[in-house]
Structures are given as structure tokens and as C-alpha cells.
């Protein structure tokens, strides 16, 4: 007999949360707990990236307290089984990913098992199981930092993936926490279409999909959710915005290195400014999305945020193996870290849908779509009007088809 189990998946890059210790955390947690209370899931999966933030050596203790505060909260008391994995052993340079995954099982959910990758079989889940540190020898998850030889020309960083495997009422699925490479330079990102960074992410994502699809563990439906660092096709975007513009390249005084590029239309005030890294990427005096995002002038010129979706192309190379619910929310990054400006974007990067929940086609087939209930499946951001850091967490709530004998 077919049944369904309500599932909540959440992905959150929490780097800036730990870089602004204390300012954001309370509201962040409140927003998460409110979402759990609203949708009343029976299974919750939380995937975190950049645990500890940029100064992870200083902040890792606080990060571990953050996980504890979620696990021990009164709001999650009805989830009587919890599995926590925090890769916090930053001294293990070759394997450290700064990924954290938490899984909560409601007391009403009776038939659930988790896979042991060492003995290749599912085992019953009981109590609170918490693994913090190197995660070496933990057999209920798989973790890998991307191989260094993938990107010899770029700085090697703490990017990789973590996988767990579950059996919920006889329906198996893989849940994969992913963190892919970012755009290090706005100017390099604008050199080609697709950019070299996009090509790196494509290679990494294909690597992850191939690894979790290997026959040694009998492939199952999978959900990939994390910070994919997907960016808009910057070159196409800028070209469309500046078709009649004059182009000016500004170089450093001491070298031939280009520091910024200005696209300026002489007949009006329209200007696109790309800076190498930390200054404005786009600024414009008349851009109509100002009202939408609280008078912020640093996002994208004449475009409302949803018109940007046509430049979001990085998933198109994977339509053979993955799909996604339709996006109806604004770009998840880069929001202001100013506590008083929760709906504004920073002007360091072009806004993009970095944080996503992707799924295999077989995973899409196990989502139960209730025709009588328009809210049966919800794909959205957490904290749209609250400062959550530079990334808004993204969640997917859905009833999952399960089988009872």
C-alpha cells in the first residue's frame, strides 16, 4: 500500500553566520524552527557548508555549539532520533571540507533505517548519534574532498561532498551535501561564456554524480543539496545590458593587469561596472528592481530578479540525470551581512541562485503531488525578511511516496 511521509530538506551556507558571531544566530534558528513548526515534517535533513566560517580555526568551537543548540532545542524535542556529522577537523588539510549534516526523525516515524557503507546494509536508527571531528572511520556516511589535481591552476579549498543513505518506509534514497567552487574574480568570470569557473563546477558536479551512481552500492534516487556556487552567465548578461556601450578597461598603475571594466552608454546614465573582486560589480541609477529589494541600487540594472533566471544556465548540462522544482524565489546570494538590511544584496557579486536542491529523475518520481493541496510541494528560501548572512538558506518540503507492506 502506498503512503507518504512529509520531508523537509534545508541547505545553508553558514560561513557568515560564524564570521558574525552572535548577531545572526538567534534569528537564524528562530526562522528554521518556525519553518519546522509550519510544515510539520516527519524527517528533516539540514546540510551546512562553510562550517566555522572563514576563520574556522577560531570559530569551530562556536560552530559545534550551534549544532548542539539545534539538536537539544525544545522545538526539535519530538524528533527522538538524530544523526549529526560535522567535519570540523581542520588540521587534516587533505580531507577537511567544513561540511555539516544533521538528520532528525520524528517519534511518529517508525520504519526508518540508515545505510552502513562498511558492511553494505541498512541498520535501524536509534537515539542521538553525533560525530564531530575528522569523521574518519564513521561508516554511516561517505565524505570526500575534491582531488587537488582537478584544478591545478586554482587555489585548492575546502570543497567536497558528504553522502548519507536512508530507507524510509521501504523507500531508499541518498542525501548528498555538496559545496562547489566559487568565482574568484568577476573579470575572469566575464572572459568567456560559459566561464572557466562554470567549467570547474561542471566537472566537480559530474564527479559527484558519477560517484554516487556507482554500481557498488546499488544506485538509489538521490537529492543533491548544498552551495553549488552556480552563477549567472556573466558575459551574456553584461553584453545584453551594454549593447550600445563604450568599453573602458582600467589597469593598475604598476602593471598591465586589468583592475576593472566599465561599460558606459554616453546618451544616458546607464553604466555597468565590473571590478576584479570586492568593489561594485553592477551599479545603475535607474534600475527598476530597486523597490523590490528595498532601494538597493547595486543589483542588476533594468532587470527584475526573475528576469535573471534566463542567465542561470549551469544545470542545463545535467538535465540527463538531474532536475529541480521550479524556482520562484530571488537569488540566494550575496545578501548584505548588515543586520539592518536583510533584503538587500551586496555589490561584490552579481546575484545568483547558488544554493539549490537538485534531484535525480527517480527522486522526482517519489514526490507525492496532491492535486487538492497547492502547498504540497514548497521550494523557497528561509528568512526572506530576516538577516541570515550572505546566503539565504533554501528548503524543499514535500510528501514522499513510501511503501508499507
Average confidence (pLDDT) over 283-303: 40
Torsion sign across C-alpha atoms 39, 42, 48, 52: positive
Residue 116: its H or E element: strand 112-116
Average confidence (pLDDT) over 268-292: 48
Identity of the highest mean pLDDT range in 65-79, 225-239, 266-280: 65-79
Query: Quick one: pLDDT at residue 186?
Result: 73
Query: Quick one: pLDDT at residue 244?
Result: 57
Give the residue with greater pLDDT, 91 vs 153. Answer: 91
Average confidence (pLDDT) over 348-371: 91
Query: Quick one: pLDDT at residue 56?
Result: 86
Task: Please provide the size of the chain in residues.
Answer: 405
What dotted CATH number matches 2-232+311-341+351-403?
3.60.10.10
% of the chain beyond a pLDDT of 90: 54
Q: Within 10 A of 91 (CB to CB), how many other CB atoms are there?
A: 7
What is the Cβ-side half-sphere exposure of residue 226, based on CA atoms within 13 angstroms?
A: 30
Average confidence (pLDDT) over 314-333: 94
Cα(289)–Cα(269) distance, integer angstroms: 16
Q: What is the mean pLDDT of the chain?
A: 84
How confident is the model over 153-193, as pLDDT tens digits? Answer: 666 678 999 999 999 999 999 999 999 988 877 777 777 88
Identity of the highest mean pLDDT range in 32-36, 186-190, 199-203: 32-36
Average confidence (pLDDT) over 321-330: 93
How confident is the model over 104-138, as pLDDT tens digits? Answer: 999 999 999 999 999 999 999 999 999 999 999 99
Least confident of 38-52, 204-218, 275-289, 353-367: 275-289
Query: Quick one: pLDDT at residue 150?
Result: 73
Query: Is the pLDDT confidence value at 332 over 60?
Result: yes
Query: Is the pLDDT confidence value at 347 over 50?
Result: yes
Query: Quick one: pLDDT at residue 289?
Result: 38
Name the residue among 142, 84, 134, 82 with its Cα closest to residue 118.
Answer: 142
Query: Quick one: pLDDT at residue 74?
Result: 96
Name the residue among 88, 111, 136, 22 with its Cα closest to residue 389.
Answer: 22
Query: Quick one: pLDDT at residue 20?
Result: 75
Query: Quick one: pLDDT at residue 383?
Result: 94
Domain boundaries, the chain: 2-232+311-341+351-403
Query: Quick one: pLDDT at residue 246?
Result: 62
Least confident of 137-141, 199-203, 265-269, 275-279: 275-279
Buried b / exposed e along 165-176 (16+ C-beta atoms within 10 A): bbbbbebbbbbb
Name the residue among 366, 382, 403, 348 with its Cα closest to residue 46.
Answer: 382
Give the residue with greater pLDDT, 59 vs 257. Answer: 59
Torsion of CA 206, 236, 353, 62, to 10 degrees: 80
Cβ pair 104, 185 in contact under 8 A: no
Query: Quick one: pLDDT at residue 79?
Result: 98
Q: Is the pTM of this model over 0.85?
A: yes
Query: Quick one: pLDDT at residue 353?
Result: 95
Average confidence (pLDDT) over 320-348: 89
Using CA atoms, how far residue 309 sits from 227, 303, 326, 394, in Å, is 17, 10, 11, 16
Give the residue with greater pLDDT, 238 vs 44. Answer: 44
Query: Is the pLDDT confidence value at 84 over 70?
Result: yes
Query: Is the pLDDT confidence value at 82 over 50?
Result: yes
Average confidence (pLDDT) over 385-402: 95
Amino acid at each position: 500500500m502506498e503512503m507518504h511521509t512529509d520531508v523537509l530538506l534545508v541547505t545553508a551556507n553558514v560561513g557568515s553566520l560564524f564570521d558574525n558571531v552572535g548577531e545572526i544566530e538567534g534569528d537564524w534558528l528562530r526562522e528554521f524552527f518556525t519553518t519546522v513548526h509550519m510544515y510539520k515534517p516527519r524527517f528533516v535533513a539540514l546540510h551546512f557548508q562553510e562550517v566555522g566560517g572563514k576563520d574556522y580555526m577560531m570559530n569551530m568551537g562556536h560552530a559545534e555549539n550551534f549544532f548542539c543548540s539545534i539538536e537539544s532545542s525544545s522545538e526539535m524535542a519530538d524528533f527522538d532520533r538524530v544523526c549529526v556529522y560535522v567535519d570540523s577537523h581542520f588540521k587534516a588539510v587533505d580531507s577537511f571540507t567544513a561540511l555539516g549534516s544533521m538528520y532528525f526523525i520524528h517519534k511518529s516515524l517508525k520504519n526508518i533505517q540508515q545505510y552502513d557503507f562498511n558492511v553494505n546494509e541498512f541498520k535501524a536508527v536509534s537515539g542521538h548519534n553525533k560525530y564531530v571531528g575528522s569523521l574518519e572511520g564513521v561508516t554511516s556516511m561517505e565524505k570526500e574532498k575534491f582531488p587537488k589535481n582537478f584544478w591545478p591552476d586554482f587555489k585548492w579549498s575546502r570543497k567536497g561532498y558528504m553522502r548519507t543513505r536512508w530507507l524510509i518506509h521501504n523507500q531508499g534514497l541518498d542525501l548528498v551535501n555538496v559545496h562547489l567552487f566559487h568565482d574568484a574574480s568577476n573579470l575572469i568570470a566575464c572572459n568567456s561564456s560559459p566561464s572557466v569557473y562554470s567549467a570547474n563546477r561542471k566537472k566537480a558536479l559530474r564527479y559527484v554524480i558519477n560517484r554516487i551512481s556507482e554500481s557498488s552500492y546499488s544506485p538509489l534516487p538521490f537529492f543533491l543539496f548544498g552551495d553549488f556556487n552556480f552563477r549567472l552567465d556573466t558575459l551574456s548578461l553584461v553584453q545584453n545590458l551594454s549593447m550600445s556601450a563604450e568599453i573602458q578597461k582600467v589597469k593598475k598603475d604598476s602593471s598591465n593587469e586589468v583592475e576593472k571594466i566599465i561599460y558606459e552608454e554616453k546618451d544616458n546614465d546607464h553604466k555597468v561596472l565590473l571590478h576584479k573582486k570586492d568593489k561594485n560589480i553592477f551599479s545603475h541609477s535607474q534600475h527598476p528592481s530597486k523597490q523590490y529589494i528595498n532601494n538597493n541600487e547595486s543589483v542588476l540594472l533594468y532587470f527584475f530578479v526573475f528576469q535573471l533566471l534566463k542567465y542561470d544556465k549551469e544545470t542545463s548540462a545535467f538535465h540527463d540525470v538531474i532536475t529541480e522544482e521550479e524556482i520562484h524565489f530571488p537569488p540566494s546570494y550575496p545578501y548584505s551581512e548588515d543586520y539592518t538590511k536583510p533584503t538587500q544584496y551586496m555589490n561584490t557579486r552579481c546575484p545568483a541562485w547558488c544554493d539549490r536542491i537538485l534531484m535525480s529523475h527517480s527522486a522526482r518520481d517519489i514526490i507525492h503531488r496532491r492535486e487538492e493541496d497547492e502547498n504540497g510541494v514548497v521550494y523557497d528560501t528561509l528568512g526572506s525578511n530576516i538577516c541570515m548572512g550572505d546566503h539565504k538558506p533554501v528548503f524543499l518540503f514535500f510528501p514522499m511516496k513510501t511503501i508499507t507492506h
